[in-house]
Amino acid sequence: MKDKLNNPFVIIGDIPEPYFCDRNKETELIIRSVTNEGNIVLMSPRRMGKSRLVKHIFKQQQIKEHYLTFYVDLLHTSSIKEFAYTFGKVVFDQLKTRNEKMLKSLVLALKSLAGTFGFDPITGLPTFTLEMGRVQSPEYTIQEIFSWLELSNTPCIVCFDEFQRISNYQDNKHGEVEALLRSIIQHLRNVNFIFSGSERHLLSEMFFSAAKPFYNSADLLNLQPLHVDVYYKFAQSWMQHYDKTLDPVAFKYYYDTLDGTTYYLQKLMHEAFIDCHSGDVCDRELLDRTFEIMLEEAQENVSKLLSILTEQQKCALYAIALEGKAEKVLSAAFIKKHAISSTSSMQSALKKLIELEFLTANGNTYCVSDVMMRLCIINRILRLTSI
């Protein structure tokens, strides 16, 4: 095989096509939508592979040959100014590697940022020297970027990852940012969108509440875990390719333990692949050792995250972690069972934990957003109770 990897279970960077596991139906559905003047909301828990799926779609022949594609990660943005900066930089960087003529036309179109571009003395190409403080009129900058995309001779697909972040922007208290973006996007005919995110309650409210600007403006795709048989077949085929064997019962145990979460399964197999030598079986004992190391690595980060919580917030988080999927969390029975001080303190804790994205709410059901955090918390509780 061309460009054969030392480890077929890729966990860093883009995944080369032969090492990408399935998602054929989801790929077909999304491509069908965005190539037929449709927009889509891609929703799933964290670490389920949304970002990798989008990048996989952007590499498909029918997309990369006929569309300009832009992947904009909004996770660390907190204002419309940061949105404009991040969006502008992604568009500029993408065109820089693709088309010199397009790049120069973009620079001319971004009049609100005219003073932030220079030119490379060797290549003669524009250079992007934008600093956050120079974005003085982000609304105009965003409008200019979208206008350029709309007038491009090549149709465009834009993915805004963690799109729900805009609902918590400091300048979106009354929905101003959502209204601005919707007012621009609804008139575009040359640009289609993938709105991706991991906070179900926020995305659902944004796109399926009649009071919100983005109401009914995109189809919904809930990204589910890869089926256990699908991922096992993928993992076993690569193990066999390197003269190794994956025990199906041991794999199934950790698939269930990790709730089928794509990234953590991939990491488990990545590390186990290293320790499983040619001719050997990757069995339960080997996977146990691998998982213990993963758990220890995660514990330090989880401890830092937990240190910012109050005692009552920790009590609420621990209670929900122990339950797995917790219902009726404000009932007297739940409060008593988990020794929470009061219903009001539980309500307050839930609000903060959801805001911090430690918890995910699906209707009246709550769970810890990150399965590895939940497992670390359970491990922590077990250690404390055994002392």
**134 compared with 50, residue with greater pLDDT:** 50
Return the pLDDT at 320. Answer: 97
CA nearest to 29, candidates 170, 196, 223: 223
Give the total residue count for the chain: 387
Structure confidence by residue, pLDDT tens digits, 16-33: 999 999 999 999 999 999
Confidence of residue 112 (pLDDT cuts 50, 70, 90): confident
High-pLDDT (> 70) share of the chain, %:
95
Query: What mean pLDDT do residues 46-64 have?
Result: 96
Structure confidence by residue, pLDDT tens digits, 157-186: 999 999 999 999 999 988 999 999 999 999
- Which range (3-17, 34-48, 126-140, 320-334) has the least confidence? 126-140
pTM for the predicted model, two decimal places: 0.91
Return the pLDDT at 54. Answer: 97
CA 82 to chain centre: 18
Whether the predicted pLDDT of 343 surpasses 90 = yes
Whether the predicted pLDDT of 195 surpasses 90 = yes
Return the pLDDT at 50. Answer: 96
Return the pLDDT at 116. Answer: 63
Whether the predicted pLDDT of 113 surpasses 90 = no
Structure confidence by residue, pLDDT tens digits, 199-250: 888 999 999 999 999 999 999 999 999 999 999 999 999 999 999 999 999 9
Query: To the nearest whole number, what is the mean pLDDT of the chain?
Result: 92
CA distance 187 to 302: 44
Return the pLDDT at 136. Answer: 80
Structure confidence by residue, pLDDT tens digits, 262-298: 999 999 999 999 999 999 999 999 999 999 999 999 9
High-pLDDT (> 90) share of the chain, %:
80
Whether the predicted pLDDT of 321 surpasses 90 = yes
CA distance 193 to 158: 5
Whether the predicted pLDDT of 387 surpasses 60 = no
Return the pLDDT at 386. Answer: 60
